[in-house]
Amino acid sequence: MLKKKDKYVVAVVGATGAVGNEMIAVLEERKFSIGQLRLFASERSEGKTLEFCDKAVTVEILGENVFKGIDIALFSAGAERSLHFAPFAVKAGCVVVDNSSAWRMDPNVPLVVPEVNPQDLKWHKGIIANPNCSTIQMVVVMKPIHDAVKIKRVVVTTFQSVSGTGKRAMEELLQQSSDMLNFKEIKPVVYPHQIAFNCLPHIDKFMEDGYTKEEIKMVNETKKIMGDDSIRITATTVRVPVFRGHSESVNIETEEKLTANEARVLLSSAPGIIVYDAPEKNIYPLPVYAAGKDEVYVGRIREDDTVENGINMWVVSDNLRKGAALNAVQIAEKLITQIK
């Protein structure tokens, strides 16, 4: 179990990846009380160094016996690695904050967004799961609305950037964009189709019922985090040629009426949210402005009069920060403040 210390030994597993890189940056920026930072990746990264607080830290190869002496491990090396290695970390006395889908729906593992369900951290047994990026930015906005007027149903469509797929996908968008502009042939590798100048209604694999796994994740994770199985949710997830920042069109039906103005006031005072909503001045959230920021941006708030109590909004956040690295570091920060 985690003990109160002045400084902690923290590990980033998957340190060389898009999320891992961001975790290192967020730990530094937020001055997390770190005595030693350990970085892990695959054999491919052996000998590499990454910078943390102006010092080069050597990347180590992940293994079952590496966790002795580590207090907190932030995992982002994929679900397979999390499933296999997290139990070894816990056995060595480490608390794992896992960014993958491996443990999210395990009833013994809390799935936490600090603005929404920090109370769930109290019952962790060594592993805490970080939700999917698209779920995180949506539940941050749903929480104050649910508390005020109870949400009955949500219809969400996402517009997800390529950084959600990782480093290779970012390189693919760059390469294809350049090839297109130079009249060269496009060769899709990471995605099944061209991503430059295109939209793909396909994130993660297709399930038997025609939904994608990403869509199912959004539905199941939202109910678990909100602690309410009665909320009905349907999702369509789309990959768009944006480097960083996921956008979502969210339609919410509530038990009681919430006007657009009331929603603006309510969301403005909620933690982690910035209401950016003045369409008459062309002011609405955009991924290019949300990139690199910590908050969830909400705009285009309008009433939906096709149902008794409905509201539409446009929600944008940096998927690598609040959607992944920042949320994981915030969980770790909350954990250490809760140690008695």
> Which residues are near ligand 3JN by CB under 6 A?
79, 100-101, 132-133, 160, 164-165, 203, 217, 319
Q: Closest distance between ligand NAP and the C-beta of residue 270, in Å?
A: 21
- Match 């008794």 to its residue by tokens: 308
Residue nearer to ligand NAP on the CB measure, 132 or 309 = 132
CA 71 to the chain's CA centroid: 23
The residue number with the shortest CB distance to ligand 3JN is 164
Please report, as residue ranges, which positions from 95 to 114 form the binding site for ligand NAP (by CB under 6 A).
99-100
Query: Kind and range of the H or E element at 137?
Result: helix 133-149
As a whole number of Å, the CA-based R_g of the chain is 20
Count of beta carbons in the 10 Å neighbourhood of residue 230: 10
Q: Is residue 132 involved in binding ligand NAP (CB under 6 A)?
A: yes
Residue 51's SS3 state is strand
Q: Minimum distance between the CB of residue 197 and ligand NAP, rounded to whole angstroms?
A: 23
Q: Nearest CA to 86 among 124, 44, 48?
A: 124
Active site residues: 133, 246
Work out what residue 42 binds among ligand NAP, ligand 3JN, none; the CB cut-off runs from 5 to 8 Å by kind: ligand NAP
Which of the listed partners (ligand 3JN, ligand NAP, none) does 77 bind, with a CB threshold of 5 to 8 Å by partner kind?
Answer: ligand NAP
CB of 204 to ligand 3JN, least distance (A): 7
Q: Residue 84, SS3?
A: helix
Binding mask 68-97 for ligand NAP (x = CB under 6 A): --------xxxx-x----------------
Binding mask 25-64 for ligand NAP (x = CB under 6 A): ----------------xx-xx----------------x--
Stretch (H or E) spanning 79: helix 79-91
Which residues does 157 contact at the CB level (< 8 Å), separation at least 6?
A: 235, 236, 237, 238, 248, 249
Q: Name the nearest CA neighbour of 218 among 315, 149, 87.
A: 315
Smallest separation, CB 20 to ligand NAP (Å): 5
Binding partner of residue 212 among ligand 3JN, ligand NAP, none, CB under 5 to 8 Å per kind?
A: none
| Site size for ligand NAP (CB under 6 A) | 27
Q: Which two tokens stand for residue 119?
A: 């109370």
Nearer to ligand 3JN, 134 or 309 (CB): 134
Q: What does the DSSP assignment read for 209-270? A: TS-BHHHHHHHHHHHHHHT-TT-EEEEEEEE-S-SS-EEEEEEEEESS---HHHHHHHHHTS
Touching ligand NAP, residues 143-182 (CB under 6 A): 164, 166-167
Site for ligand NAP, rule CB under 6 A: 14-20, 41-42, 44-45, 62, 76-79, 81, 99-100, 130, 132-133, 164, 166-167, 323-324
